[in-house]
Structure 1
Amino acid sequence: MRGWYFLRCNRLQWSKRRLQPLYQPTRGVAWKGRAQLSNVEKLVQDFRNEVARILHFEEAMYLMEWDLRTGAPKRGVPLRAEAIGTLSDEVFRAKTSPRMESYLNRLSDPDVFATLDSVTAGTVRELKRQFDRDKAIPADRKKAFVMLTSEAQSVWEEAKETSDFELFRPYLERIVDMQLEFIDYWGFENDPYDTLLHHFEPGLTVAELDPIFRNLRQETVRLLQDIVASGVRPEVGPLLQDFPIWQQRELSTELLLYMGFDFSAGRLDTTVHPFMSSINRYDARVTTMYVKNDLRSSVFSTIHEGGHALYEQGIADELIGTPLCTGTSMGMHESQSRFYENMIGRSMEFWETKYPSLLERFPTLSGMSLEAFYAAINEVQPSLVRIDADEVTYNLHIMIRYEIEKALINRSVKVAELPLVWGEKMQDYLGVVPPNDALGVLQDVHWSGGDFGYFPSYTLGNIYAAQIREALHRDIPDYMSEVLQGHLLGIKNWLNDKVHRFGKLLGPREILQQVTGQGIDSGALVRYLNDKYRPLYHI
C-alpha cells in the first residue's frame, strides 16, 4: 500500500545556505583503465534505464490503485483488480528477471561497487534487498496475492458499510494463509512475525519491539488513569454541529497550503479511509474524509496526510527515477504525519493563528473560546475507532492490533475468532467494547491489503516524531514562536534538510541517529505526553 508519501532541492534554502547535494561522484576509479570505466558507465546506464522502466509500470499501478480507492465504479472493481494484477506481475517479473539478477550481481562486485556514486550504490542495495525477498516468491503466487488483495479491499468497504465481518472473513482467511505461505518462503530466525516487520521497518524484531511497547503501555496507562481521575471533561459539543461539507473542503485546502503543500505537485480528494499516495516525485495525492457533524475528522486527517505529502514533496530531485525516491520506512513516514497532526496541528500556537479564520468560516463556533477549542481538540477519552483516538490512547489501539497480528501469524488465533478477540482486547486495553463489526474488527483497511506488520509503524512514528521534535527544539529553540506568528516554513525546511531529502538513501535508524544522536527511545514521547496533558487536565 502506497498510503502516504521540495519544492525542488536546488530552490530550497535553510539558514541561508544551500542543502548539501546527496549525489556523491564516482569513487575510487583512478587506477582502473578508461576502457573499464566506460564499461562500468554503460552498465550503470543500462541498469538505471531498466529501473526507470520498472518504475513507470509501478506509477501506472499506483494511479490505478488510487482510483480504485477514490471512486472507481463498483462493477468495474474485479476487472480493475485483474488489470492491477497483470501490471504487478510485470513489475514482479522484471524485478526478479535474469537480466536484473545479472545487473545486481555485476554491480555488487566489490571492485565495481566501489566506483559507483552514492545514489546508484543505494539503488543497487535497495533493489538487491527487494530481489532477495521477491525472488523467494513464485511469480504466480505473487500475482494471485495482488489480485486477491485488490478485490478484498473493495469487499472490505462493503463489509464495513454493512457491519458484516462474515462477508469479509473468507478473503481475510485467504490473505492470512498466503502471508504464512510467504513467510515459509522467506524464512525467519526467531519469530515469523519478524519477517513482516522487516518489510515496513527494516531490521526491527519482535524481541526489540515488545519491551518498547510494554514500557510505553505502562506509562500511557498511568497517565490515562490520572486524566480519568482528574474529573476534567472538555466540552466538545460545539465541534459536533453541522459543518457544511463544501466549507470543510475549503478549509482542508487552506490548511494544506498553510503547511506548505505544493498543489502544482499534488492534489486533494475524498475517500472512505484517508490515505496519501505518491504517484511520482511531483504527484503527491492527499485524501481526506468529511463528516458533516464532526469538524475534527477532516481537519486532522487532512493535516495528517498532508504531513505524509510534505515528506514526499521534500525528497531530493537526485533520487528521481530510483526506488530511493520515497520515505525510508513506514515508521519514519508516520513520524512526519503525526508530528504535523499532533505536535503542530493540535498545539495552542497553531490555533492562535488559525482560529480567527476558522470562526469567520464557521460563525456557529463564535461562542467557543480558543482555550475551550484547544481543550476540545485534545480531549482524552477511550474510544472505539483508532483514527479518531486521542494522542494518549492512540498507541493502545496500535498495541491491540500488534498483539492480534502476532497471534494470527503464530497460529494461536483463527480469523473466525477475530470479532471476539478484538472485543476482549478493547475491554482489556481501553475499557470499551465495540457494539458492531464496523466499529470493531472491520474499521481498518490494512488487512484487506495484506499489510500485516504495518500497524507498529504508527506507534514507531509517534516515538520518532517526539525524538525529532526534541532535536528541532535543540536546533531552533523558538520554533513554536514561529508557529505562533503563522510561519511554518522554517520547520518544513528543517525537516527537509534533516529527514525528507534523503528519501530511502539512508535507513530509518541512520536518519534517527543522525538527527537525534539516539536509537529508538520512547522516553521522548512519554515526556511530550506528560508535559502537554498534565497541565491541560490540571494534574
Structure 2
Amino acid sequence: MDTLKQWKTHFESLNAYQEAVALLYWDMRTHMPEQSAGNRSKSIGFLSTESFRRKTDATYRDLLKRMGEQELEGLERASYMEAHESYVRDSKIPEEEYQEFVTLISEAESVWEKAKDQDDWKMFEPFLEKIVETERRFVEYWGYEDHPYDALLFDYERGMTVEKLDHLFGELRQAIIGLLKRLEGKRFPTLDWSLGKAEQMRLNHEWLNDIGYDFTAGRLDETVHPFQTTINRKDARITTKYDESDYRNSLFGTMHEAGHATYEQGIDPELDSLGLGDGASMGIHESQSLFFENFIGRNRGFLEARFSGLKSTVPSLKDVDFDTFYAAVNEAKPSLIRIEADELTYALHIIIRYELEKRLISGELEVKDLPQEWNRLYGEYLGVTPPNDAKGVLQDVHWSGGSFGYFPSYALGLVYSAQLNEAMRKDIPEIDTLIAEGSFEPIKNWLKENIHRHGRSKTPAELIEGATGEEITVRPLIAYLEQKYSRLVEAL
C-alpha cells in the first residue's frame, strides 16, 4: 500500500472512532438512562484513548515521517502540516493521563447536570478542581511563549493569543457598555412569551424546514444544554431546550444549532480522509451558528414573513402588531443566563468567562473562589448578581467537559459573523429581500463557497481575510449593533 493510501486509511479509522464517541456523547446528553453514566464514561474513555494512541504510536510516527518525505501540494500538504502540528502536541501528553482525563470529564458532565439541577456547587467543585489541575499540567507539557492560556486557545482557535483577545475584547466591551448606557431608561415592549412544548416543537421544525436544514442528514432532539454534534458527514444532529415560559430560547437556540449543522453538512467530503473534515476553528463554527441565529433568525424580513404563523400558534400574540413584536424580540438588557442573552449583551457573558479562565489556568484564581468572582464580575460588567449558583457559576456545561479555551470562540464568532455579513452584503446587495422571500440558497451558497467547503484546510485568519478582504476586526460588529439598536431606540 502506498504512503498516501495508508495516510487516508489512517484518518478513515480515526473517523470511525470519532463517530462512535460522538454517538455515545449524543446519547449521554439526550436519552441515556441515569444509571448508565459510570459505564458510559469508561466506554468513552477507552475509545478516546484508543483513538489518541493511533495518533501518537510508533506506526503513525513512521507514517508521518514518510508523508513528510513526499512531494506534497494543495490539500495533501495542508493535511500533513495539520497532522504534524497535532502530533507534536498530542505526543507530549502521557497516554495514561489522557485516558484518566477523558474518563474524568465524562463523569464530571453527569455530575454537573445534577449539581446544576440541585443548585449544589459543592457537589461539582471537586471534579472541577481535578479538571483545572489537569489542564494546568497539560499546559506545561505543551509549553507556551507569553501566557499559559495561549496553549489552550490553540485547540479551538489556531493563531489566537491572549494578547490579541485582550485588545479585541477590550474594544468590544467598551462599545457594548457604552451602548447599554444609551439604552438606560428606554422601555422595550413587554410580551407574554409562554408557549407549550408541543407548539414550540412544531415551530422549530417549520423554521428548520424553511431555511433548508436537511433532516435526511440530521435530526432535532431535546437536551438540558443545547448542542450540535456531527456523527459523520451525513449525520449532523442538533438539540434544543424547551422553556415553556419563553419560547424565544428554543426558537433562536434551534436556529443557532442549525447554523452549526449547516456548516458541517457543507464541508467537502474529500477532506474527511485527509483529517481536514472539521470546522476551521470553534470561532468560525460559532460565526456560522450566530449568522443563522442573528443575521437570519432576527432579521426583520425573516420574522415579518413568519409573524402570521406565529400569531396562529401563540395565543398571546393575537392583538400584537409586528413592530411591537420585533422590538420586544430584540429587547436588550443585562441578564444572568448566557444562552438567553440578547444580541447586545451576549459578548459580555463570554468576556466574563474568558477573564475567569485566564486566571484559573495561570493560578491567579482557585476553583473554590470561582462562585464569588463570578458574581463580582457579573455585578461589574452587567450590573446583576446571580441569586444562586445554578443561575451563576453552574449554568454552563463547558467546564465539566474540560473545554477551557473554548468560551472566547463565542465572542469571536460574533465578530466573524458581522464581518461575513458585511462582506456578503457587498456581493449580494438584495440579501434582505431574499431572506424575506425565503430564498436562502444564494446565502448558503456564499457561505459554502467562502467558509464551509474548506473545512480545516485553511486557518481562521485565512478564511476571514479571504472572504472579507481584511483581518479580524470588531468594527463591523460594533457598527451593526449601533445601527440596529439606534433604530430600535428611535422607535420606542
Q: Who is 1:187 aligned against? A: 143
Match of 1:402 in 2: 354
CA offset digits 1:232-268 (Å, max 9, x no partner): 22223222x3x12111111111111111111111010
Q: Structure 1 residue 57 and structure 2 residue 34: aligned?
A: no
Aligned match for 1:178, one of 134, 138, 144: 134
Post-superposition Cα deviations, 1:479-532, rounded to whole Å, max 9, x if no partner, equal 111111122121111111111111111111111010011111000100000010
Q: Which of these residues, 143, 158, 161, is aligned with residue 205 of structure 1?
A: 161
Hey, what does 2:99 align to over in structure 1?
143
The whole-number CA distance in structure 1 between the counterparts of 2:269 and 2:53 is 27
Spell out, residue by residue over 1:417-463, the C-alpha distance to the aligned partner (whole angstroms, 9 max, x if none).
Answer: 11111010000000000000000000000000000010100010000
* Contact 2:211 2:438 (C-alpha < 8 Å) held by counterparts: no
2:384 aligned residue (432, 443, 449): 432
Matched, 1:69 2:25: no
Match of 1:124 in 2: 80
Listed as ranges, the matches of 1:154-303 within 5 Å are 154-228=110-184, 231-239=185-193, 241=194, 243-303=195-255
For 2:103 and 2:78, the matched residues in 1 are separated by 31
| C-alpha deviation, 1:104, in angstroms | 1.1
Q: Is the 8 A contact 2:230 2:264 kept in 1?
A: yes
Deviating above 6 A after TM superposition, structure 1's stretches of 4 or more consecutive aligned residues are none
Amino acid in the other structure paired with 2:402: G
TM-superposed deviation, 1:316: 1.3
Residue pair 2:267, 2:455 contacting (<8 A) in 1 also: yes
Q: Is the 8 A contact 2:263 2:452 kept in 1?
A: yes
Deviations 1:152-187 (CA, angstroms, capped at 9, x unpaired): 000000000011110000000000000011011101
Which residue of the partner structure matches residue 477 of structure 2? 525
Deviation at 1:360, TM superposition (A): 1.9
Correspondence for 1:152:
108
Counterpart contact for 1:260–1:492, Cα < 8 Å = no
Structure 1: distance between partners of 2:177 and 2:9? 53
Say which SS state the counterpart of residue 239 (structure 2) adopts: strand
Q: State the secondary structure of the residue aligned to 1:367.
A: coil
457-466 vs 353-362, greater mean Cα deviation: 353-362
Q: Which moved more, 1:140-149 or 1:336-345?
A: 336-345
**TM-score, normalised by the number of residues in structure 1:** 0.90
SS at match of 1:71: coil
- Give the aligned partner of residue 478 of structure 1: 430
Whole-Å separation in 1 of the counterparts to 2:466 and 2:282: 18
**3-state SS, counterpart of residue 344 of structure 2:** helix
- Aligned mates of 1:55, 1:130 — CA distance in 2: 16
SS at match of 1:284: strand
Equivalent position of 2:285 in the other structure: 333
Partner of 1:83 in structure 2? 43
Q: Distance in 2 between matches of 1:475 and 1:176?
A: 45
8 A contact 1:55–1:322 mirrored in 2: no
Look up the match of 1:28.
none
| Pairing 1:500–2:456 present | no
Normalising to structure 2: TM-score of the pair?
A: 0.98
Larger Rg: 1
Shift of 1:363: 3.5
Residue 117 of structure 1 and its aligned partner are, at CA, apart by: 5.1
Q: Distance in 2 between matches of 1:121 and 1:466?
A: 31
Matched, 1:133 2:133: no
Match of 1:385 among 324, 337, 348: 337
Q: 1:367 aligns with which of 319, 334, 338?
A: 319
Partner of 1:520: helix, strand, or coil? coil
Taking the aligned partners of 1:132 and 1:236, their CA distance within structure 2 comes to: 55
User: Quick check: 1:213–1:399 contact (8 Å CA) kept in 2?
Assistant: yes
The one-letter code of the counterpart of 1:127 is: A
Q: Helix, strand or coil for the counterpart of 1:287? A: strand
Structure 2 SS opposite 1:392 = coil
Q: Distance in 2 between matches of 1:486 and 1:43?
A: 48
Q: CA contact under 8 A between 1:238 and 1:368: conserved in structure 2?
A: no
Identical aligned residues as a percent: 45
The aligned residue for residue 13 of structure 1 is none
The gaps in structure 1 that reach 5 residues or longer are 1-40
Q: Is the 8 A contact 1:347 1:374 kept in 2?
A: no
Distance, in Å, in 2 between the alignment partners of 1:320 and 1:180 is 32
1:468 Cα offset (Å)? 0.4
SS in 2 for 1:333: helix
> Is the 2:302–2:438 Cα contact (8 Å) retained in structure 1?
yes
